Amino acid sequence: MSRFLNVLRSWLVMTSILAVGHSLQSFRDHTFLYEKIYTSKPDLVNGLQARTFGIWMLLSSVVRGHCAIDIHNKTLYYITLLTFFIAVGHFVFELFVFGTVAPTIGTIAPLTVASISILGMLVGLWRLEAEPGSRQKKRN
């Protein structure tokens, strides 16, 4: 396995751990969401929305962690890549369409991490295709 894919695996583990942290924070105290993320319309944040956000983050964490373990599983790889596209889409829509978030560190940080992850995973996909033996795996 190439060095880049090992770095990508470590990055996915890091994003997975961060997602667990956000998930636990959302379950523990829903004020976290309106104080750090949805600052433009804090009245829309309630316990149910925070727990839903927490479940999404927990699911993302599990998917990203599994992808780090089995990075050669193409289906899992694409699903993991999709979690980052969904995260970017969510924050872009909340920022520019719905106006529930402001461009603060609470929204810029996840957008940056998700964007870097998308770029890294796209490069990683190219690297996976270039690995010796990858053509044999496609036939089986």
Residuewise pLDDT in 10s, the chain (140 residues): 689 999 999 999 999 999 999 999 999 998 989 899 999 999 999 999 999 999 999 999 999 999 999 999 999 999 999 999 999 999 999 999 999 999 999 999 999 999 999 999 999 999 988 876 654 455 44
Rounded CA gap, 126 and 10, in Å? 18
Residue type, 38: Y
Sequence-distant (≥ 6) Cβ neighbours of residue 118 within 8 angstroms = 81, 84, 85, 88
Q: Which two structure tokens, joined as six digits, stand for 27?
A: 């379950």
pTM of the model: 0.88
Rounded CA Rg of the chain: 17
Domain segments of the chain as ranges: 3-139
Helix, coil or strand: residue 70: coil
